[in-house]
């Protein structure tokens, strides 16, 4: 009987520990001057493939939900890249060859595709919808 009670108590404690009410959230941004941001983000993006052209400006924020201790964390990364109009065809061609990570079925999906903390460089939901479906 004592073993059964100990086992039940242990299961109850494990269940309570795994059911935290809210996962911790954190974010990371790349700040600095335009040249500093462009240098860091260019290096970050070119780890997987060469960039199809140079960046004129770049912004980045990454959000993490969960701390990775009691389960996996979810990461969302948001980029805003400014390229020269002459380089736009090369960027579009490179992006069309890449795997589509985000699919938006409706306007609600587009509204959720924004950093939790408002960023002055992030586009509005309506503008994002127009950009994604060009």
Under a CB-based contact definition with an 8 Å cutoff, are residues 80 and 110 in contact?
no
Q: Which of 58, 49, 46 is nearest to 119 (CA)?
A: 58
Q: Band of the pLDDT at 46, cuts 50, 70, 90?
A: very high
Would you state the pLDDT for residue 71?
Answer: 76
- Which residues form the domain of 114? 2-132
Per-residue pLDDT of 99-112, as tens digits, reads: 655 556 666 666 66
Would you state the pLDDT for residue 110?
Answer: 62
Answer whether residue 85 shows pLDDT above 90: yes
Q: Which of 89, 90, 80, 85 is nearest to 114 (CA)?
A: 80
Look up the pTM and report it. Answer: 0.68
The values of phi and psi at residue 76, to 5°, are -130, 130
Per-residue pLDDT of 55-64, as tens digits, reads: 999 999 988 8
Q: Which of 98, 78, 91, 80 is nearest to 38 (CA)?
A: 80
Domain total of the chain? 1
Q: Rounded mean pLDDT of 40-50?
A: 91
Long-range Cβ pairs for the range 51-57 (8 Å, 24+):
52/87, 52/90, 52/91, 52/93, 52/94, 53/83, 53/84, 53/87, 53/90, 53/91, 54/83, 54/84, 54/87, 55/81, 55/82, 55/83, 56/82, 56/83, 56/84, 57/81, 57/82
Would you state the pLDDT for residue 101?
Answer: 57
3-state secondary structure of 56: strand
Q: Band of the pLDDT at 39, cuts 50, 70, 90?
A: very high
């Amino acid at each position: 009987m004592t073993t059964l009670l100990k086992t039940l108590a242990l299961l109850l404690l494990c269940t309570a520990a795994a059911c935290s009410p809210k996962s911790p959230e954190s974010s990371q941004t790349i700040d600095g001057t335009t040249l500093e941001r462009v240098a860091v983000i260019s290096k970050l993006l070119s780890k997987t493939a060469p960039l199809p052209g140079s960046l004129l400006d770049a912004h980045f924020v990454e959000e993490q939900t969960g701390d990775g201790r009691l389960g996996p964390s979810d990461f969302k990364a948001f980029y805003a890249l400014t390229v020269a109009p002459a380089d736009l065809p090369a960027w579009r061609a490179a992006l069309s060859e890449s795997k589509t990570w985000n699919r938006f079925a409706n306007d609600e999906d587009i509204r959720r595709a924004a950093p939790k903390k408002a960023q002055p460089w992030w586009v509005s939901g309506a503008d994002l919808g127009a950009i994604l479906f060009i």
